């Protein structure tokens, strides 16, 4: 990875503006509101937009001009600046530029995902998959093994050096790790397919317990390796698109070596939106309770509706801080069941930005329902628009969505 003089000349103006934004007072104010939210304080909800279909935004400002091995840096700069100008909401640009530590998974699990994939052209990561069932017997499970995680220190230091050269005299740079995230059943679904998985939960429960236990053991091995190689981050900005800044991490006895108790954990079981609370608890939460028991804080959920399952989460996890509540959940019921004990990570419906002409009315109704429910129950709430598969080639949808949401919040929070 090299940065030529020409590439530096291209990137330096972007870095200068990025640095100017990063040092605005509003960044510290927003990070403090992230902390207040995660401390379960009643504050104005954070609003974020993530997982944008960048391929639908045709703007020269988003066109990379430098060498391809600098894409990780150039793309981040261009997309951050564009988002700041057009739909920033409560985006934080931190005053220290964060470079991810490079690491890779070697050897895999013993099998590879086999699927038919239909991918759109919107620039979103979302694809349709038809997975081949590869885990039908105990012999199939016996083929699985934990991958080896290898920290690439040379590549990490080289990336850090490139960033330090680019931002010299503008802002500091640092290497950062990751949190502990693993969704057992999302992984299993990739090797079994959805229908086979759901049928076997009912017809072959013992085998499915064996399957869940094996993937839990694989995750435990990955977690140990991340910890042993110094790849964990005790001070992340986000945990899966939501605010992560908190006064509770790292732990009070932290002395430099990052342990699970110093980081966020995050898990989900999206496919379990179709099963009962008892089955969800038996086949997913019981294993995640064991897997994530040492994490400092835990965020549960993704796209599955959790409004009817708060009680089973409450019984399983002592470190639970945040729960995802999606458009398929009832915000009134969710807030009533959560009370003041958890942050509601509200996920507004991305379908409302998928039409050629933006209509604010369903957005106003949706955000109003969340605000009224959470104000009534004293539930801390944050809004994250994500999983955006399309904006109908109209980036103005995101700008208008942001303005609409902020206007509704103004009516309920100062």
If we measure between CA atoms, which residue out of 407, 328, 413 comes closest to residue 379? 413
At 134 the three-state DSSP class reads coil
pLDDT exceeds 90 at position 72: yes
Residues 103-128 as b/e (b if ≥16 CB within 10 A, e otherwise) read: beeeeebeeeeeeeeeeeebebeeee
Answer whether 0.85 is exceeded by the pTM: yes
Peptide bond into 96 cis (omega under 30): no
What are the residues whose beta carbons fall under 8 Å from the beta carbon of 286, sequence distance 6 or more? 316
Taking residues 86-95, what's their average pLDDT?
A: 98
CA-only gyration radius of the chain, Å: 22
Q: Which residues pair with 48 in a beta bridge?
A: 384
Would you say 276 and 308 are in contact if contact means Cβ atoms under 8 Å apart?
Answer: no
What are the residues whose beta carbons fall under 8 Å from the beta carbon of 154, sequence distance 6 or more? none
pLDDT, tens digit, for every residue of 378-403?
999 999 999 999 999 999 999 999 99
pLDDT, averaged across the chain: 95
Q: What is the pLDDT of residue 125?
A: 61
Q: What is the pLDDT of residue 126?
A: 67
Cα gap 94→21, rounded to integer Å: 9
Q: Would you place residue 112 in the very low, low, confident or very high pLDDT band (cuts 50, 70, 90)?
A: confident
Q: What is the pLDDT of residue 56?
A: 96
pLDDT exceeds 90 at position 123: no
Q: What is the pLDDT of residue 122?
A: 67
Q: What is the pLDDT of residue 120?
A: 67
At 382 the three-state DSSP class reads strand
At 374 the three-state DSSP class reads helix
319 CB-side CA count, 13 A: 23
Q: Would you place residue 171 in the very low, low, confident or very high pLDDT band (cuts 50, 70, 90)?
A: very high
Would you say 70 and 99 are in contact if contact means Cβ atoms under 8 Å apart?
Answer: no
> At 287, which CATH number?
3.20.20.210
Q: What is the pLDDT of residue 110?
A: 87
pLDDT exceeds 70 at position 129: no
- The range of the structural domain enclosing residue 218 comes to 5-410
Number of domains present in the structure of the chain: 1
pLDDT, tens digit, for every residue of 265-286?
999 999 999 899 999 999 999 9
pLDDT, tens digit, for every residue of 284-337?
999 999 999 999 999 999 999 999 999 999 999 999 999 999 999 999 999 999
């Amino acid at each position: 990875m090299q940065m030529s003089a020409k590439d530096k000349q291209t990137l330096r103006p972007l870095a200068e503006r990025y640095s100017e934004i990063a040092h605005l007072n509003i960044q510290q104010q927003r990070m403090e509101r992230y902390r207040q939210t995660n401390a379960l304080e009643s504050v104005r909800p954070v609003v974020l937009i993530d997982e944008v279909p960048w391929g639908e935004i045709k703007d020269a400002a988003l066109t990379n001009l430098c060498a391809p091995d600098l894409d990780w840096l150039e793309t981040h700069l261009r997309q951050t600046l564009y988002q700041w100008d057009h739909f920033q909401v409560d985006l934080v640009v931190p005053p220290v530029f964060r470079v991810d530590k490079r690491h890779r998974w070697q050897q895999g699990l013993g099998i590879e995902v086999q699927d038919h994939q239909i991918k759109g052209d919107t620039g979103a990561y979302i694809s349709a998959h038809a997975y081949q069932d590869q885990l039908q017997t105990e012999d199939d499970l016996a083929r699985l093994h934990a991958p080896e995680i290898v920290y690439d220190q040379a590549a990490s230091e080289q990336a850090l050096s490139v960033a330090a050269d680019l931002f010299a005299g503008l802002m500091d740079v640092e290497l950062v790790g990751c949190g502990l995230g693993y969704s057992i059943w999302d992984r299993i679904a990739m090797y079994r397919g959805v229908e086979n998985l759901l049928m076997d939960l009912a017809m072959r429960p013992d085998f499915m317990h064996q399957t869940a236990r094996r993937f839990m053991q694989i995750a435990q091995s990955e977690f140990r390796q991340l910890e042993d190689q110094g790849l964990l981050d005790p001070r992340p900005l986000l945990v899966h698109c939501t605010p992560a800044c908190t006064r509770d991490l790292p732990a009070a006895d932290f002395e430099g070596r990052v342990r699970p108790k110093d980081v966020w954990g995050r898990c989900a079981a999206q496919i379990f939106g179709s099963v009962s609370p008892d089955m969800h608890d038996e086949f997913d939460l019981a294993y995640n309770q064991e897997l994530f028991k040492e994490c400092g804080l835990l965020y549960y959920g993704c796209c599955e509706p959790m409004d009817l399952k708060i009680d089973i989460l409450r019984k399983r996890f002592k470190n639970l801080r945040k729960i995802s509540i999606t458009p398929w959940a009832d915000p009134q019921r969710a807030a009533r069941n959560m009370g003041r004990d958890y942050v509601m990570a509200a996920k507004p419906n991305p379908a409302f930005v998928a039409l050629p002409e933006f209509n604010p009315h369903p957005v106003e109704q949706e955000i109003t329902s969340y605000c009224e429910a959470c104000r009534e129950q004293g539930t801390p709430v944050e809004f994250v628009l994500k999983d955006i598969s399309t904006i109908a080639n109209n980036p103005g949808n995101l700008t208008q969505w942001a303005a609409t949401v902020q206007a509704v919040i103004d009516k309920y929070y100062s």
